[in-house]
Structure 1
Amino acid sequence: MDVQKWCKNCSEISYFRQIIPNTLSFDDYYTTKYCIHYFIKQGCELCNERTSLLSEHIPDRYQTSSGWVKSTLNERHIAILYLPWWDNYGTCIICSRELKYINPELETYSQKWCPYCFIIYTGCRYCLTTNIIFGITGQSQCKKCKRVSFINIDTTNTASGNYIIDEFLASTRINNNSQCLIAKYTVNTKLNPLSVYKFIRNFYVRKQIIEWIPFSQFKNVVRIAEGGFSVIYKATWSDGTCDTDLKSLYHCYDADDSIIRCYGVSQNPLTKDYLLIMDYAKGGNLSDYLQKYFVKITWAEKIKILTDFSYGLQIIHKNNFIHRDIHSGNILLSNLWKNEMLKQIHCWQIGDLGLSQPASNTLSNNEIYGVIPYVAPEIFKGAAFSKESDIYSLGMVMWEITTGCKPFANVKHDINLIYQIIDGKRPEITNDTPECFANLMKKCWNSDPLKRPTIYEVRNSAVKWCQLTYDWVYSGIPFIKHVDSADLIEAMEQAEKERLELIRSEKLGPKSIEKSHPNAIFTSRALSSFISRPLAINSTTTISFNLKKEYITIEYEFDIDNIQSSAQNVCNSHRQNAIISRPLSKLISIGTENSSRKRNIAELKIGTRNNRFKFFKK
Structure 2
Amino acid sequence: MLSIFGISKNKCTICYETYTNEQYKWCKSCQINNLKKNFPNWSSGNEKIDKLIQKAQSNIDDPNKPIFEWISYHQFNIKDMGKDGLSTVYLAIWKDGPLYWGNKKYARDSGKTVVLKSIGNFGNSQNMNLNEKNHSMKWYIDLKIYGMTQNPDSKDYMMVLNNKYFDDYFKGYCVKCDKMFENIQYKWCKPCQIDYFKKNFISSRNDEIDDLIQEMHSKINDYKDIVFEWIPYNQFDQFDIIKDVGMGLVNLYSAVWKDGPLEYDTDAKKYERRSNKLFTLKFFNTTHNVINDLSNEIREYSINADNNVLNIYGISQNPNTKEFIMIFESNYYEKYCEKCGKVYTNMYKWCKSCQLMYLKENLICESEQISDLIREMQLKINNPKDMVFEWIPFNQFYNINKEIDNGFSTVYSAKWKDGPLYWNNKKWTRGLDKLSDIQISSKSNKSKQVSLKCLGNSQNINDELNKVKLYSINYLDSNIKLYGMSQMSDTKDYVLVFESKHYEKYCANCDKFYIDNYKWCKACQVDYLTKNFTNLNIGNEKLVDFIKEMQLKINYPTDIVFEWISFNQFSNIRKVGKDQYVTVYSATWKEGPLKYNTDKRKYERHSNQVFALICLSASQNIMNKVREYSINFSATAFKIYGISQNLDTKNYVMVLEDRYCEKYCKRCCKEYTDINYKWCKQCQIISFTNWSGNEKIDKLIKEIQQYNHYLAFEWIPYDQFAGVQEISKGGFSTIYSAIWKNGPLNYNENIGKWAREPDKLVALKCLFNSQSLNDKFLSKIKSYLVNDFEKSGRILKMYGLTQNPITKDYVFVLQFTEGGNFNYWINTNNNSKYFNWLIKLKVLDNTIKGLDEIHQKKMVHSDLHTGNILFKEIYWVSSSASTYISDVGFCGNIGNEDESKIYGVMPYLAPEVLRGNPYTQAADIYSFGMIMYFVATGRLPFANREHDQNLALDICKGIRPEISESEAPKCYIDLMKRCWDSDPANRLDASEIARLIRLFHDSYNPIETIQDDEEIEEQFKEAEKYRRANNDNQSPVHPQAIYTSRLLNPFTKDLPRYIDDNAES
Residue aligning to 1:145: none
Residue aligning to 1:295: 833
Aligned partner letter, 2:840: K
2:967 and 2:1023 in contact (8 A); partners too? yes
* Equivalent residue runs for 1:63-462 within 5 Å: 88=667, 93-94=672-673, 118-120=681-683, 157=690, 159-174=691-706, 208=711, 210-237=713-740, 238-239=742-743, 240-241=757-758, 242-250=760-768, 254-255=788-789, 256-292=792-828, 293-335=831-873, 347-355=882-890, 365-430=899-964, 431-462=966-997
Determine the C-alpha separation between the residues in 1 that align with 2:977 and 2:715: 43
Residue-by-residue CA offset, 1:182-235 (whole Å, 9 max, x unaligned): xxxxxxxxxxxxxxxxxxxxxx67x54533333333332222221111111212
Q: How far off is 1:337 after superposition?
A: 11
Determine the C-alpha separation between the residues in 1 that align with 2:677 and 2:881: 36
2:860 and 2:889 in contact (8 A); partners too? no
Q: How far off is 1:118 after superposition?
A: 4.9
**Which secondary structure does the structure 1 equivalent of 2:801 belong to?**
strand
Instruction: Quickly say closer, same or farther: Cα 1:29–1:546, change in 2 above 3 A.
Output: same
Residue aligning to 2:640: 30
Q: How far off is 1:355 after superposition?
A: 2.3
Determine the C-alpha separation between the residues in 2 that align with 1:451 and 1:442: 10
Determine the C-alpha separation between the residues in 1 that align with 2:1027 and 2:876: 28
165-174 or 459-468, which moves further after superposition? 165-174
| Structure 1, unpaired ranges of 5+ | 18-24, 41-49, 61-83, 100-113, 122-134, 136-152, 176-203, 358-362, 474-478, 533-544, 554-595, 601-618
* Equivalent residue runs for 1:3-22 within 5 Å: 4=574, 7-8=587-588, 9-11=608-610, 13=612
Residue aligning to 1:518: 1039
Determine the C-alpha separation between the residues in 2 that align with 1:405 and 1:365: 32
1:464 and 1:483 in contact (8 A); partners too? no
Residue-by-residue CA offset, 1:274-301 (whole Å, 9 max, x unaligned): 2222211111111122223212211111
Q: How far off is 1:438 after superposition?
A: 0.3
2:929 and 2:976 in contact (8 A); partners too? yes
291-300 or 214-223, which moves further after superposition? 214-223
| Structure 2, unpaired ranges of 5+ | 1-570, 576-585, 589-607, 617-634, 655-662, 744-756, 771-776, 782-787
Asked whether 1:527 is paired with 2:1055, we answer no
Q: How far off is 1:417 after superposition?
A: 1.3
Instruction: Quickly say closer, same or farther: Cα 1:322–1:4, change in 2 above 3 A.
Output: closer
Q: How far off is 1:163 after superposition?
A: 4.1
Q: How far off is 1:329 after superposition?
A: 0.7
Determine the C-alpha separation between the residues in 1 that align with 2:971 and 2:865: 22
166-175 or 268-277, which moves further after superposition? 166-175
Instruction: Quickly say closer, same or farther: Cα 1:224–1:527, change in 2 above 3 A.
Output: same
TM-score calculated relative to the size of structure 1: 0.57
**Which secondary structure does the structure 1 equivalent of 2:888 belong to?**
coil
Higher relative contact order (CA 8 A, sep 6+): 1
1:374 and 1:393 in contact (8 A); partners too? yes
**Which secondary structure does the structure 1 equivalent of 2:827 belong to?**
helix
1:285 and 1:331 in contact (8 A); partners too? yes
Determine the C-alpha separation between the residues in 2 that align with 1:500 and 1:2: 77
Residue aligning to 1:609: none
Instruction: Quickly say closer, same or farther: Cα 1:526–1:520, change in 2 above 3 A.
Output: same
Residue-by-residue CA offset, 1:58-91 (whole Å, 9 max, x unaligned): 469xxxxxxxxxxxxxxxxxxxxxxx99965699
Residue aligning to 2:191: none
Q: How far off is 1:167 after superposition?
A: 4.1
2:946 and 2:1038 in contact (8 A); partners too? yes
1:90 and 1:98 in contact (8 A); partners too? no
Aligned partner letter, 1:244: V
Instruction: Quickly say closer, same or farther: Cα 1:458–1:58, change in 2 above 3 A.
Output: same
Instruction: Quickly say closer, same or farther: Cα 1:231–1:487, change in 2 above 3 A.
Output: same
2:855 and 2:921 in contact (8 A); partners too? yes
Instruction: Quickly say closer, same or farther: Cα 1:336–1:93, change in 2 above 3 A.
Output: farther
Residue aligning to 1:498: 1026
Instruction: Quickly say closer, same or farther: Cα 1:97–1:448, change in 2 above 3 A.
Output: closer
Q: How far off is 1:98 after superposition?
A: 11
**Which secondary structure does the structure 2 equivalent of 1:119 belong to?**
helix
Residue aligning to 1:68: none
Q: How far off is 1:322 after superposition?
A: 0.3
**Which secondary structure does the structure 2 equivalent of 1:378 belong to?**
helix
**Which secondary structure does the structure 1 equivalent of 2:961 belong to?**
coil
**Which secondary structure does the structure 2 equivalent of 1:447 belong to?**
coil
Instruction: Quickly say closer, same or farther: Cα 1:246–1:546, change in 2 above 3 A.
Output: closer
Residue-by-residue CA offset, 1:561-610 (whole Å, 9 max, x unaligned): xxxxxxxxxxxxxxxxxxxxxxxxxxxxxxxxxxx9xx97xxxxxxxxxx
Determine the C-alpha separation between the residues in 1 that align with 2:761 and 2:676: 23
Q: How far off is 1:368 after superposition?
A: 0.7
Determine the C-alpha separation between the residues in 1 that align with 2:677 and 2:933: 50
482-491 or 257-266, which moves further after superposition? 482-491
**Which secondary structure does the structure 1 equivalent of 2:739 belong to?**
strand
2:1004 and 2:1011 in contact (8 A); partners too? no
Determine the C-alpha separation between the residues in 2 that align with 1:89 and 1:355: 38
Q: How far off is 1:2 after superposition?
A: 8.2
- How large is the RMSD of aligned CA atoms in angstroms? 4.0
Determine the C-alpha separation between the residues in 1 that align with 2:1000 and 2:1052: 40
Determine the C-alpha separation between the residues in 2 that align with 1:518 and 1:287: 16
Q: How far off is 1:408 after superposition?
A: 1.3
Number of aligned residue pairs: 400
Structure with the greater alpha carbon radius of gyration = 2
Instruction: Quickly say closer, same or farther: Cα 1:394–1:154, change in 2 above 3 A.
Output: closer
Instruction: Quickly say closer, same or farther: Cα 1:432–1:156, change in 2 above 3 A.
Output: same
Instruction: Quickly say closer, same or farther: Cα 1:247–1:433, change in 2 above 3 A.
Output: same
Aligned partner letter, 1:314: D
Q: How far off is 1:425 after superposition?
A: 1.4
Residue-by-residue CA offset, 1:425-461 (whole Å, 9 max, x unaligned): 1111132210000011111111111111111111111
Residue-by-residue CA offset, 1:332-381 (whole Å, 9 max, x unaligned): 11248999xxx767611111124279xxxxx9922111001101111111
Asked whether 1:488 is paired with 2:1016, we answer yes
Determine the C-alpha separation between the residues in 2 that align with 1:335 and 1:449: 35
Determine the C-alpha separation between the residues in 1 that align with 2:887 and 2:923: 17
Instruction: Quickly say closer, same or farther: Cα 1:447–1:467, change in 2 above 3 A.
Output: same
**Which secondary structure does the structure 2 equivalent of 1:219 belong to?**
strand
1:3 and 1:16 in contact (8 A); partners too? no
Residue aligning to 1:126: none
Determine the C-alpha separation between the residues in 2 that align with 1:549 and 1:286: 33
2:665 and 2:671 in contact (8 A); partners too? no
Q: How far off is 1:169 after superposition?
A: 2.8
Instruction: Quickly say closer, same or farther: Cα 1:161–1:309, change in 2 above 3 A.
Output: same
Determine the C-alpha separation between the residues in 1 that align with 2:677 and 2:1061: 64
